[in-house]
Amino acid sequence: MELTPNDERSLRGEHGETIASAYRILVAIGTATEAKKLVPIKWAHLSGVNYNTIGNAGVKFLEEFAEDGTTRVAVKTTVNPMGFDRTKPNNLDENFVKQQMKIVKLYEGLGTSPSFTCTPYEIFDIPQRGTAVSFAESSAAIYSNSMLGLLTNKESSLSALASSVTGKAPYSELRVEEFRHPKVAIKPELKLLTELDFGLFGYFTGKVVKDSCVALDGIRKSKPDIMKTKSLSAAIGTSGTCGMFTSSEEEPTKEVIPFDKTEFNAVRDELSTAEDGNIIILGSPQIGINELSLVVDLAKDKKFSKHCMVFCSRAIFNQASQIGLAGKIERAGCEFMCDSCACLTPLINKDDVDSIITNSVKAAYYMKLFNRTGVALKDLKTIVRDYTN
């Protein structure tokens, strides 16, 4: 990868150790993705905010990264959810809270926006199509490439951080037009009806596709709503390396892989390990206004019979409060958890619950492998039908 003389100086440490380590990351990922050069980006979105995921090593890294006290982000930078809702009591130990708040301060010190969201595309103004960005948080990267026409690779926490402080990212893979065309298509041989169906379809897709872009048969024609495309994007990001989907109608491919009842059942059985659960968790990716409206419509005047946690960004919660939606959700017996996400939350563990109920394939995956609880996967309509009265 070719670097400008100024980039070379940065890499050698002439602009401080923080910028040098950012450049070391950019050079490594630029080499891995065969980039010819670095290009400017307009927006970085960082993951690696939740203490539950980055732990003490993450805190140590960020402390060292921010040590000079002068490094600031060079472009608009938003951040992923943290571990809990600061406005609510929680059962977390003192150390967790202390370390989490340290992380929050370190990111704020770098000049990032305290967005604590995994769905920045639902909150912030979207740049015009074709704009290069750098999004960690795989679900946001895939959604932004596929639905919004932004240009990002499926970045890591560290590569997006490196791009945020340098304002640059490798010109490679999904930032280059020729890589944004699929070689393989996945064709559903059954009707995808619910957001859960789209999630299971996405999880299968991520597993079998090795390229950075895939065609999904019928995806534009069926006009899936945002709940479905969020679910799809998050699931693709969970199981693989693919960073973008397009549609077979627009871009036919030679190779077509079927997704039939057998494949559907196999991924469902892998992730849905329980028939029922102790609590319901909604919001992975964090819930949006339209999903909240749907919950209100479906629940009507009924109340949830099990504890239902709704994970949400602060911005969406405030919006929902203004239009009276949040109150309706709370009156139905749900509890909002802002600034955090259902997936990788420290608030739920196997000591307290055997199994959780969710409509999110991504949450199911991490609950099973990381939080180690059982999972009952059901779509939102079924959840509201089965657990309200």
Partner 1 sequence: MSLQVNCRKIVGGYGRGKALVTRQPINFLAMLDTKVGTITDQDHELFGQSVKNVILVFPNAIGSSVGAYAIYSLRVNGVAPTAIVCTNKADITTASGCAISSIPVVDMLEKTLSCMLSSQMNISVDADNGILAVI
Prior bond of 252 cis (ω within 30°): no
Nearer to partner 1, 155 or 379 (CB): 155
CB of 230 to partner 1, least distance (A): 17
Looking at the Cβ atoms of 201 and 336, the one nearer to partner 1 is 201
Q: Which is nearer to partner 1, 54 or 73 (CB)?
A: 54
Cα–Cα distance, 302 to 281 (Å, whole number)? 18
Asked whether 163 and 41 are in contact (CB, 8 A), the reply is yes
**Residue closer to partner 1 (CB basis): 154 or 328:** 154
# of chain residues touching partner 1 (CB under 8 A)? 46
Displacement of CA 381 from its chain's centroid (Å) = 23
Element holding 334 (H helix, E strand): strand 334-338
Q: Which is nearer to partner 1, 360 or 388 (CB)?
A: 360
188 makes contact with partner 1 (CB under 8 A): no
Binding mask 143-172 for partner 1 (x = CB under 8 A): ----------xxxxxxxx-x----------
User: What residues have CB less than 8 Å from 17, skipping those under 6 apart?
Assistant: 67, 68
CB 21 → partner 1: shortest distance, Å? 6
SS3 state of residue 92: coil
CB 46 to partner 1: min, Å: 9
The CB-of-25 to partner 1 minimum distance in angstroms stands at: 5
Give the x/- contact pattern for partner 1 in 35-74, rule: CB under 8 A.
------------xx-x--xxxxxx-xx-------------
User: How far is residue 127's CA from residue 217's CA, in Å, rounded to a whole number?
Assistant: 27
DSSP per residue, 101-138: HHHHHHHHHTT-B----S-GGGTSPPPPTT-B-EE-SH
Does 96 bind partner 1 (CB under 8 A)? Our answer is no
Helix axes 94-109, 51-65, angle to 10 degrees: 50
CB of 144 or CB of 157, closer to partner 1: 157
Binding part of the chain for partner 1, among 108-116, 135-143, 258-266, 323-331 by CB under 8 A, reads 135-143
Which residue type occupies 329? Answer: I
Burial of 289 (0-12, 13-18, 19+ CB in 10 A): middle
By the rule CB under 8 A, 25 interacts with partner 1: yes
Interface of this chain with partner 1, residues 257 to 316, rule: CB under 8 A: 270
In 10 A of CB 211, how many CB atoms? 17
Least CB distance from residue 19 to partner 1, whole Å? Answer: 13
Task: Give the number of other Cβ atoms within 10 Å of residue 364's Cβ.
Answer: 33
Of 371, 387, 363, the closest CA to residue 271 belongs to 363
Would you say 78 or 247 has its CB closer to partner 1?
78
Residues 222-241 binding partner 1 (CB under 8 A) are: 237-241
DSSP characters over 37-50: SEEE-SEEEE----
Q: Which residues pair with 311 in a beta bridge?
A: 337
Instruction: Give the 3-state secondary structure of residue 355.
Output: strand
Q: Considering the rule CB under 8 A, would residue 103 count as an interface residue with partner 1?
A: no
**Closest distance of CB 41 from partner 1, Å:** 14
Q: Which is nearer to partner 1, 112 or 138 (CB)?
A: 138
Helix (H, G, I), strand (E, B) or coil at 9: helix
C-alpha to C-alpha distances, 333 to 73, 205, 245, 302, nearest whole angstrom: 41, 35, 37, 9
Query: According to the binding rule CB under 8 A, does residue 349 interact with partner 1?
Result: no
d(CA 104, CA 58) in angstroms, rounded, equals: 12
Nearer residue to partner 1 within complex by CB, 90 or 241: 241
Stretch binding partner 1 (CB under 8 A), from 8-16, 71-79, 130-138, 350-358: 130-138
Nearer to partner 1, 18 or 359 (CB): 18
User: Residue 214: enclosing H or E segment and its boundaries?
Assistant: strand 213-216
- In this chain, which stretch among 6-14, 132-140, 217-225, 347-355 interacts with partner 1, using CB under 8 A? 132-140
Q: List contacts with partner 1 (CB under 8 A).
A: 21, 24-25, 27-29, 31-33, 47-48, 50, 53-58, 60-61, 136-138, 141, 153-160, 162, 206, 210, 237-241, 270, 344, 365-366, 369-370
